[in-house]
Structure 1
């Protein structure tokens, strides 16, 4: 986004040859007040830039974090979708050339914290992440030798009794997808569509079973948190030994 300065308006005076002798006597003052003339000729102040833009970069847009859950939206007589569409309509009215993109931020039911903070963490806002790291500095020491399973969403890691489970990227994505839909059975077709949509060669349902089997083997004696629902798919079940940290992540569903 670039900001243009309003141009300074200048007036031009046309000189013509006089038809009668020129008088050297002082002329009366012009009818335009001196204050108005001075104001018209003074340069206009420069428009402020968008915060501090580092050298060699330019502002290309902005992010507006909106924190509101579905129940609060319903209490206000609206929905998340209507809010998104209203903001898009306003943007199109003010700046028709602007492009927009919206995604919903998910968190497990009952997760604490302000809605806007959940959204900022989900969208990896640098200031929010820095604040989170500072707040968790002391908690890291207690993570070294805990018992049970720690599924750390923001750091993309799983700890089993204090030791890293060593999941691959795709294995963690698979576990995360199930965790964020806790208690719901996910069929194999949905997993393929959501997690392998960008891959050139999408796996078949048998391949999904192989991925889940490898994931469960790395979860060792905690493998029962990933349940197999025969004939349907898989489900994440949490129990007392499972702790989910910083459980906020961008939704795969886009408005």
Structure 2
């Protein structure tokens, strides 16, 4: 007896991929959209246009597609030299929720390590973050006078007497002259300007700072007494 077997081919079907839909709260409906465009003035100029012209063209295109559509454009302002992709900077500047969330989750950058201040009394030199500062002789004398009297407030009259004692009567400075020299010295100290403290109504002083080191001369300074 002959038996026959029949086989039935079963065609495998590929599963239909499901689109990932963003969860939308119940009772809401779409009312528009936001298009973030990352481009600065330089890139627009290189393409022979500007940001204003691009915005106008996009608004015209929207009006052609949907004459009843309403449009509003906002320019994103960011600090000069901000790093990262232009579109990411724009999203962050315009307070895009997802961009803000990502920014909050990003690790805080480590603070930049600075070398600090070196007041080299032996070489009459001021070094800021390993770079020599261009202070004048009189500015360094002023700083040195305060450093050698650390923790004591020095009156302007004492500074005039000590640092300008050899001046002629016509060239003798006044208290305003001391303030000018201190202001110039502070401007050159930059981020370390608080090395020279002002005691209102009295004068100036130097206090110990963690980021300031003083290199003393091998022999006592002639103005240290």
TM (norm. structure 1) is 0.41
Kindly indicate whether structure 1 or structure 2 has the higher relative contact order, using CA contacts under 8 Å at least 6 residues apart.
Answer: 1
TM (norm. structure 2) is 0.46
Bigger Rg over Cα: 2
